[in-house]
A = this chain, B = another copy of it.
Amino acid sequence: MQYSALFGKTIKEAPKDEMAVNAKLLIRAGFVRREVAGVYNYLPLGIRVLNKISNIIREEMNSIGGQEVLLSALQNKDSWKITGRWDTFRALLKAKTQLEIEYPLGPTHEEVIVPLAKQFISSYKDLPLYLFQIQTKFRDEKRAKSGLLRGREFLMKDLYSFHLTEKDLDDYYEKVTKAYFNILNKLGVGEKTYLTFASGGTFSKYSHEFQTVSEAGEDSIYICQKCKQAINKEIFNEVKICPNCKGKDFKEEKSIESGNIFKLMTKYSKPFDLCVTDKDGSKREVLMGCYGIGPSRLMGTIVELNNDAKGIIWPKNVAPFDVHLIHIEDPTTEAFAKDVNDTLVKNGVEVLWDDRKGVSPGVKFADADLVGIPVRLIVSKRNEDKIEFKERTSEKSELLKLEEVVNRLS
């Protein structure tokens, strides 16, 4: 992609009322723009990152047997009346027609997935079943000052599992926990993420959150210094003891909730009478789990954890491009710059090629650092037929032949 043609160039300053580091950097670097508070539009660079995150999540979901569906944002009001959440779910946005007909605008999809699953589940043979979607959710957040970390509209992966036995639910819950850490590791935020005991609601003693340590976080966690699991504030205030290892020595940290997993048990199958006939002919209520992780929030989290004074530092797996190729403007090296771009692209390397004319090298370097692509290449007259190769995270650069560059990158 030629940077000269790219929609979404860098700007010097983010809007003054944008408080969060992730939003400031993503706006300045040309990844997103705010529509209204808590709602962002994704520019070409932004959608590339978002899609890469979504695909990493999708692969992990597929690998634990998840089947992908796409559920509607406009939901059935009657289903929300049945669970009682129509009147009690504070953050629910309601879509209204001019004739005052109302639809719940999905902040979550239990009220859709359970009646849907009920149409296909009747026997124990239909279980277990794992359904997930990657879809836009709506939530009337009171605070929307954290950029992509807390949105009124955001992209979510939600997975719902259906089981005959508690043992089966427990086993799958462990599988999802592993899959979530795989995702977070691939995104480069796993190391700073703690499995965190949280309130389980009505039916199971604890649920779990995946809390990523960051000053930008709105949550507080207490990390057990013995077993390195954590408990959230609510639980900490109740128990002051690690539910995992009984440890009593904690370190408090601010954190971002990167994901959460719940054993719903029969909380939503009961109101919809989602049952199966077991082997012995008896009727049994289906047990459920639900598991959420949000690509757009993760994008914000990645930026919060990976930046310096110059800009964003994308992990390889989610960078919008593999390399940022800068041509130091000079008519004698123009053909070579094009050759470098074309050769890399032919070898499957994703190249953002800064081909702008009338823009100083200093501006191009600063833009490359701000955008944060992992590798910067420079073609210049001084380097002759060599290419300057530098990683975003390193101060050192090397002069390499095109062939060597191709070998390193493909």
- Asked if B116 contacts A41 (CB within 8 A), the reply is yes
- Asked if A70 contacts B50 (CB within 8 A), the reply is yes
Residues of B close to A50: CB separation below 8 A = 70
Produce 1/0 per residue, A118-135, CB < 8 A to B. 011000000001010000
A38 → chain B closest CB, angstroms: 8
- Asked if A40 contacts B72 (CB within 8 A), the reply is yes
- Asked if B74 contacts A35 (CB within 8 A), the reply is yes
A95 on the interface (CB 8 Å rule)? yes
- Asked if B96 contacts A35 (CB within 8 A), the reply is no
Q: Name the segment of A97-105, A177-185, A202-210 touching the other chain.
A: A97-105
- Asked if A152 contacts B74 (CB within 8 A), the reply is yes
Produce 1/0 per residue, A58-88, CB < 8 A to B. 0000000001111111111000000000000
- Asked if B47 contacts A70 (CB within 8 A), the reply is yes
- Asked if B76 contacts A36 (CB within 8 A), the reply is yes
A304 → chain B closest CB, angstroms: 21
- Asked if A68 contacts B44 (CB within 8 A), the reply is yes
Q: Which of B9, B72, B93, B98 contacts A41 (CB 8 A)?
A: B72
A33 on the interface (CB 8 Å rule)? yes
Residues of B close to A248: CB separation below 8 A = none
Residues of B close to A349: CB separation below 8 A = none
Instruction: Report Cα–Cα, A396/B90, bound state, in Å.
Output: 60
A80 → chain B closest CB, angstroms: 12
Residues of B close to A97: CB separation below 8 A = 93, 140
27 A-B residue pairs with Cβ-Cβ distance under 8 Å, sorted by A, are A6-B67, A7-B67, A7-B69, A7-B129, A7-B131, A9-B120, A35-B74, A36-B75, A39-B72, A41-B69, A41-B70, A41-B71, A41-B116, A46-B70, A47-B68, A47-B69, A47-B70, A72-B153, A73-B153, A94-B95, A94-B96, A95-B95, A95-B96, A95-B105, A98-B140, A105-B105, A136-B136
Nearest 10 interchain pairs by C-beta: A42-B70, A97-B140, A35-B72, A39-B72, A93-B95, A44-B67, A41-B71, A74-B153, A7-B67, A39-B74
A405 on the interface (CB 8 Å rule)? no
Instruction: Report Cα–Cα, A28/B385, bound state, in Å.
Output: 63
Instruction: Report Cα–Cα, A46/B133, bound state, in Å.
Output: 13
Instruction: Report Cα–Cα, A152/B105, bound state, in Å.
Output: 13
Produce 1/0 per residue, A39-56, CB < 8 A to B. 111111011001000000
A8 on the interface (CB 8 Å rule)? yes
Instruction: Report Cα–Cα, A406/B75, bound state, in Å.
Output: 44
A112 on the interface (CB 8 Å rule)? yes
Residues of B close to A46: CB separation below 8 A = 70
- Asked if B76 contacts A35 (CB within 8 A), the reply is yes
A86 → chain B closest CB, angstroms: 12
A222 on the interface (CB 8 Å rule)? no
Instruction: Report Cα–Cα, A96/B140, bound state, in Å.
Output: 9
Q: Which of A35, A39, A140 has the most CB of B within 10 A?
A: A35
A138 on the interface (CB 8 Å rule)? yes
A161 → chain B closest CB, angstroms: 12
Residue of B nearest to A11 (CB): B119
Instruction: Report Cα–Cα, A277/B95, bound state, in Å.
Output: 41
A69-B7, A90-B98, A98-B140 known; A33 vs B152 contact (CB < 8 Å): no
Residues of B close to A69: CB separation below 8 A = 7, 41-44, 47
